[in-house]
Chain A
Amino acid sequence: MPVITLFSGNYCKKEQITKKLVEKTGYKQIGDDAIVADAGKISGMPENKIKKAFEAKPSVFNNFTHEKERAIAYMRLAVAKMLSRDNLLIDGFAGQLIPKEITHVLRVCLIADMKFRTSVAVNDNGLSEKEAISLIHGLDSAGAAWVNTLFKNNDPWDTSLYDIIIPVDKTEMSETVTIINDNLSSEVIKPTSSSQKSALDFLLAANVEVALANEGHTVGVSARDGSVTLIINKKVLMLGRLEEELKSAAGKVPGVKSVETRVGKGFYQADIYRKYDLELPSKVLLVDDEREFVQTLSERLVMRDVGSAVAYDGESALNMINEDEPEVMILDLKMPGIDGFEVLRKVKQTNPEIEVIILTGHGSDADEKECMRLGAFAYLQKPVDINILSDTLKQANEKMRQNLKEMK
């Protein structure tokens, strides 16, 4: 039988919904406390120390003690062990520890707008409105920190984390329960041999993670049929030595057939955003959902000493603008989700100094007009001559520098 995970904003009637859901489905409810207790039993760590992993800020000593990472590793193991049982409703933060590959888990998120949540807090808990708002903001940021710890994503309500997101302010409670219950019988959620296998892989990965955490190592661990992949997400000069040590430690875990190590995003990144040539922009953001095309383009630009970063959809592009402050953008128009027009519009609203070059394979004259009206710097058609693109980048860079001067 499937498993439900339930992640909810505070003051979204979660308690009542969970109760009704348990009555209807007969599932056993497991909260964070139970998982913390289990993790405590397996690890011998005190429960209050494990619980600290849910807090936004780790202890200042965490860099040396790695207590938070150990706590999370043990909680992951506790959850992985639990998954061998059926009919579970895992509610709370710990449900986020289950990887997506286990498809017989129905990931549910309950959320409501601020007005609704404030009124629940005021009515049910007798708080003042001001207290309620500040409390909710505080609790939400804990949720955001947790999601950030696990996925480097600051949005706990991100749609990619769930199968269904139910706005409880716009949905009757009984309907919410019905929606979740109906989804349980959906074909997609049914346990299959491959989803069961994923659950076993998850258990193996969790065991490896714990073994490594006990040796003081924090790495990303995934497993497939006994083959374990370790991702090193930090900068380490003596990489070869670390890889050897990780391989040897992971290889000792029962059930591990082979170990492979890789470096992840946190490792030294080659040459991204390096300033070589003032004429060419050093920070170009490439936005295109055609991965192969955009990667090739990125490599060719790097060969010309242009630092480039890549986003595969509009949403990530907009996020990167705030974080990475590109100088010039090369933008495709047709993308799933937020399309190029929308990205262009938003960028020009929030960061008008960034120059945007449209590079599209299927644009019409009307598209070109619209883009120029929205403030694009240039409109190019695929396939593009790299020399033309390079020249356009130079011009866009010059314009961008002027923009900055004018802003000062």
Chain B
Amino acid sequence: MTKKELILQVATVFFSKNGYFETPMSDLSKKTGVAESTIFYHFKSKENLFIAILERVKDDIIKEFEGYMTEKEFDSGLDMVEVAVSFYLYLAGKMENQFLLLHRHYPYKLAEINPVCRAHLESIYDCLVDIFERGVLLGQKDGSIGNMPTRKVALIIFSMVDGISRFKTYNLYDAGALYNQLIESCRRILKNDKSE
């Protein structure tokens, strides 16, 4: 592993578990064995290091989702949304640190003043919402999903699912116990009443 790669991996864990401000560069230096000056050489500043991590998160999430959703076959649009819901929750578990980073306040604060950060976040959320939206659109074409504002309802489904993943992140409740009901609720929201 290159030094740069090592710094990125360690910093991802530190930033997501402890937070951006709570992670001094000296800690990263200790943990990686890479001199602070070398970290700065690679990333110029702590903020740039964070941006590099966010870019990595973006690439990873997009790759995972695109890969999974293009390989899978779907019976209907409704089926595609259900698969997306469960895959989202699966991924939130698998890429725990990356999702934890997205659930922190710091990236959104940084987005207010840093256009690059904003662009990465927009891409991440575009990718995530897009999967639900594509499912809804497909469902509206094949008749499995009712006639409703596509974009808005996709955003609402997304916020429900993302909300459940936060339940898990912060241990608010046994999120697993909500899974079946979540799928059922999505189905009821989206179902085409006129199809039968």
Q: Does A278 touch B at the CB level, under 8 Å?
A: no
- Out of A245, A268, A274, name the residue touching B151 (CB < 8 Å): A245
* Contact residues of A between 143 and 184, Cβ < 8 Å to B: none
B118 pairs with A268, CB closer than 8 A: yes
For B117-159 the 0/1 string (1 means CB < 8 A from A) is 0100110011001000000000000000000000110000000
Q: Which residue of A lies closest to B150 (CB)?
A: A245
Which residues of B are found within 8 Å of A240, using beta-carbon distances? 122, 126
- Out of A238, A269, A270, A274, name the residue touching B126 (CB < 8 Å): A238
Q: Does A241 touch B at the CB level, under 8 Å?
A: yes
B108 pairs with A237, CB closer than 8 A: yes
Q: Which residue of A lies closest to B128 (CB)?
A: A238
Which residues of B are found within 8 Å of A237, using beta-carbon distances? 108, 111, 118, 121-122, 125
B49 shortest CB reach to chain A, Å? 16
Q: Does A137 touch B at the CB level, under 8 Å?
A: no
A271 to B125, CA, bound (A): 23
Q: Does A239 touch B at the CB level, under 8 Å?
A: yes
B129 pairs with A241, CB closer than 8 A: yes
Which residues of B are found within 8 Å of A239, using beta-carbon distances? 122
B69 shortest CB reach to chain A, Å? 18
Known pairs A241-B129, A241-B151; A270 contacts B115 (CB<8 A): yes
Q: Does A291 touch B at the CB level, under 8 Å?
A: no
A235 pairs with B151, CB closer than 8 A: no
B115 pairs with A241, CB closer than 8 A: no
B126 pairs with A268, CB closer than 8 A: no
A240 to B151, CA, bound (A): 12
Q: Does B112 touch A at the CB level, under 8 Å?
A: yes
Which residues of B are found within 8 Å of A235, using beta-carbon distances? 112
Q: Which residue of A lies closest to B151 (CB)?
A: A245
* Contact residues of A between 197 and 244, Cβ < 8 Å to B: 235, 237-241, 244
B125 pairs with A238, CB closer than 8 A: yes
A238 to B111, CA, bound (A): 12
For A253-292 the 0/1 string (1 means CB < 8 A from B) is 0000000000000001111001000000000000000000
Which residues of A are found within 8 Å of B113, using beta-carbon distances? 268-271, 274
The interface size of chain B toward A, counting residues with CB under 8 Å, comes to: 13
Q: Which residue of B lies closest to A268 (CB)?
A: B112
A241 to B127, CA, bound (A): 11
A244 to B121, CA, bound (A): 18
B125 shortest CB reach to chain A, Å? 5
B140 shortest CB reach to chain A, Å? 15
B111 pairs with A268, CB closer than 8 A: yes
A244 to B113, CA, bound (A): 24
A241 to B154, CA, bound (A): 12
Which residues of B are found within 8 Å of A245, using beta-carbon distances? 151-152
Which residues of B are found within 8 Å of A244, using beta-carbon distances? 151
A235 to B115, CA, bound (A): 12
Which of A240, A268, A269, A271 has the most chain B CB atoms closer than 10 A to its own CB? Answer: A268
B129 pairs with A238, CB closer than 8 A: yes
Which residues of B are found within 8 Å of A241, using beta-carbon distances? 126, 129, 151
Q: Which residue of B lies closest to A238 (CB)?
A: B125
Which of B108, B111, B113, B152 has the most chain A CB atoms closer than 10 A to its own CB? Answer: B113
- Out of A238, A269, A270, A274, name the residue touching B122 (CB < 8 Å): A238
Q: Which residue of B lies closest to A239 (CB)?
A: B122
A120 to B118, CA, bound (A): 56
Which residues of A are found within 8 Å of B126, using beta-carbon distances? 238, 240-241
* Contact residues of B between 88 and 128, Cβ < 8 Å to A: 108, 111-113, 115, 118, 121-122, 125-126
Known pairs A238-B129, A241-B151, A245-B151; A268 contacts B115 (CB<8 A): yes
B: residues with CB less than 8 A from A are 108, 111-113, 115, 118, 121-122, 125-126, 129, 151-152
A-B pairs with beta carbons under 8 Å apart, 29 shown: A235-B112, A237-B108, A237-B111, A237-B118, A237-B121, A237-B122, A237-B125, A238-B122, A238-B125, A238-B126, A238-B129, A239-B122, A240-B122, A240-B126, A241-B126, A241-B129, A241-B151, A244-B151, A245-B151, A245-B152, A268-B111, A268-B112, A268-B113, A268-B115, A268-B118, A270-B113, A270-B115, A271-B113, A274-B113
Extra inter-chain contacts (20) besides given A241-B151, A268-B113, A269-B113, CB under 8 Å: A235-B112, A237-B108, A237-B118, A237-B122, A237-B125, A238-B129, A239-B122, A240-B122, A240-B126, A241-B126, A241-B129, A244-B151, A245-B151, A268-B111, A268-B112, A268-B115, A268-B118, A270-B113, A270-B115, A271-B113
